[in-house]
Amino acid sequence: MMTIKRASLFITGAVLIAFVAGCSEEELAPATPETTVVPETTQEIDLTQVPDLFEQPLQPNPLAPTAEDVIVTVEGKDITHGEIMQAVQMTMQQLSRQMPPQQLSEMYGKVYQSMLDQLIANTLLEKAANNSSLAVSDAELDEEVTKIKTGAPEGQSLEEALAANKTSVDEWKENLRNQMLVGKLVKEKTAGAAEASPEEIAAFYQQNPDSFQVPESVSASHILMAFSEEDTDETKAEKKAKLTALKEQIDAGANFEELATANSDCPSSQRGGSLGSFSRGQMVPEFEAAAFTMDVGTVSDLVETQFGYHLIKVTDHQAASVRPLPEVTEQLSEYLSSQKKQKMLMTYIDGLKEAADIVMHKQDMDSGAAAAE
């Protein structure tokens, strides 16, 4: 597990994302409602039927650089193919929730180059920050450590996570201090950026109408009698009969949520069967066809999908709409202001690159293509 050990890359990357990458236009549109996340100890039954490209590790390409191969040397510091690919894997996993697999597979080369550029920028920013008069006090560091510990998920302490990564607390704190120092440098170098004006906000809103479309959505719960590989026609018939009996109880006045909690094979049973809100294209076709044609408050007849037999209860149905300007003004102000900071920071980073000793190695020529393989 590398998450903690390489935290410096990705926490510093968060600083860059806020200022360098800014906010994509897709992020300005309302986030597509997703199924409520369940604890990692359970396995949600995925009704989206979108394969996870990361269920299996990427197959190695014999022509690709090895993890140890140095792709670029920045001011004497080597950046390896393995470091870049770690960032690529994390980024691709995030993108896999936003685009179909075929489109995702076409992104490898671009993502690889983007992560390489970000690592180069991170290295230069870290050096510039360490050479500046800026400093992070012990009190500031302790406050940030406390925030991280407070926001950590239950079930594993920070110390346990670090130990699992073979990283000492002192090493991690030193990395964190460097990240905070870079954050101060970024803030200093972008302090002169002007805030977005009301006219700029209004113009962006008018010029990007698609960014503010709210898709039709449904909120629903379900009771699932899940199929298994061992199921025979007889066992499937038994599951169907059980769910039919539950439907009769619901029709007679039984509480849907209580029956879902007691009987559903989906981890959503912990939430009374609730799947949260979703738009078209997020669920398998049979489930979607039922949910989007039902009246709010009604319970479906049995619906069969590849996952099993379902009873679906629709709790809300929102028509497609457009977010009004007043509703998104604050978000747009932050976005457009961050774009101005991004421009200032990129100008500063370009200056660092021009003055830096950066050596691109031969294997970099095919690294993006190798990553795509």
Please tell me the pTM assigned to this model: 0.62
| CA 83 and chain centroid, separation | 20
| pLDDT tens string 279-337 | 999 999 999 999 999 999 999 999 999 999 999 999 999 999 999 999 999 999 999 99
Question: What's the CA gap between 61 and 41, in Å, rounded?
Answer: 33
Question: What's the CA gap between 366 and 369, in Å, rounded?
Answer: 5
Per-residue pLDDT band for 44 (boundaries 50, 70, 90) equals: very low
pLDDT score recorded for residue 66 = 85
| pLDDT tens string 134-146 | 999 999 999 999 9
User: Quick check: 58 and 365 in contact, CB under 8 A?
Assistant: no
Fold of 216-319: Chitinase A; domain 3 (3.10.50)
User: Quick check: 120 and 353 in contact, CB under 8 A?
Assistant: yes
Distances (CA, A) of 268 to 182, 220, 223, 273: 42, 11, 9, 5
| pLDDT tens string 47-87 | 444 334 334 444 555 556 788 899 999 999 999 999 999 99
Query: Between residues 64 and 196, which one has the greater pLDDT?
Result: 196
The domains of the chain are located at: 7-26+62-196+325-372, 216-319
What is 7-26+62-196+325-372's CATH superfamily? Porin chaperone SurA, peptide-binding domain (1.10.4030.10)
Taking only Cα atoms into account, the Rg of the chain, rounded to an integer number of angstroms, comes to 25
Q: At residue 104, what are phi and psi to the nearest 5 degrees?
A: -60, -40
User: Quick check: 337 and 297 in contact, CB under 8 A?
Assistant: no
User: Quick check: 314 and 295 in contact, CB under 8 A?
Assistant: yes
Per-residue pLDDT band for 259 (boundaries 50, 70, 90) equals: very high
User: Quick check: 319 and 216 in contact, CB under 8 A?
Assistant: yes
First to last CA, the chain: 23
Range 14-33 burial, b when 16+ CB lie within 10 A, else e: ebbebbbebbeeeebbbebb
